[in-house]
Amino acid sequence: MAMLFGICAIVGTTVLVCQFVLSIMGFAGESFDGDTVDVAHDAAGDHSLSTDDGHHSDHGSSWFFGVISLKTMTAAIAFFGLTGLALESMEMPVRSTLGGAILAGVGAMYLVHWMMRSMAMLRADGTVRIREAVGVVGTVYLPIPGRNSGLGKVTLNLQSQSIELQARTTEDTLATGTRVVVTRVIDTDLVEVVAVQKIAA
């Protein structure tokens, strides 16, 4: 058992560290391990299907397989091995050691899954808030090249908060300090703007 725990601890911890380093370097996004979180369905409450008797049946198997991913399984393997080694060093009975290691692995898997879902929902919530920027007046912070030839930055107040977003324009170059209005949200941190006087005209 010690060899099994040791291999799991080494492999799991190594992969976890690699994932962390790659994430910091910007090479590990959502496509790194195929993890996906359907936040839109969650937000809409679409967790179940109606049956003929009026009850709802949960997608139990789909939800379970949704928990399984490279990140969650890596965490499970790492904590299974580390916990097993720790319990063996305490000279715990084999059954208790194995049971504790399994519980730790499953717990780590669900914890990582919950963290991933929480971060995904925060990103989705941020996207929804940014969509409300259309029509909001702001100020150019960094010059915005004209005719969609480059990006600048604008600051604006959205939901009582001052935020900074990348911006582009189809009009002429907008200098720092120019008052602009958001006409379109392109991405979670990118908007299209025009000078306020253009709207007034």
The range of the structural domain enclosing residue 169 comes to 132-200
Q: What's the pLDDT tens digit per position in 64-114?
A: 556 678 888 999 999 999 999 999 999 889 999 999 999 999 999 999 888
Q: What's the pLDDT tens digit per position in 117-140?
A: 887 776 655 555 777 889 999 999
125, 160: one domain: no
- Residue where one domain finishes, among candidates 76, 100, 130: 130
83, 157: one domain: no
14, 108: one domain: yes
46, 15: one domain: yes
58, 73: one domain: yes
Label residue 167 by pLDDT band (50, 70, 90). very high
Q: How many domains does the chain have?
A: 2
- Residue where one domain finishes, among candidates 76, 107, 130: 130
CB 138 within 8 A of CB 154: yes
CA distances from 193 to 39, 87, 163, 199 (A): 29, 60, 15, 10
φ/ψ of 180, rounded to 5, equals: -130, 165
172, 117: one domain: no
Label residue 193 by pLDDT band (50, 70, 90). very high
The structure's pTM equals 0.49
- Residue where one domain finishes, among candidates 130, 146, 174: 130
CATH number where 149 lies:
2.40.50.140
93, 146: one domain: no
Q: How far apart are CA 29 and CA 163, in angstroms?
A: 24
Amino acid at 135: G
72, 161: one domain: no
52, 118: one domain: yes
Q: Which residues of 60-86 are buried (b: 16+ CB within 10 A; e: fewer)?
A: eeeeeebbebebbbbbbbbbbbbbbbb
156, 95: one domain: no
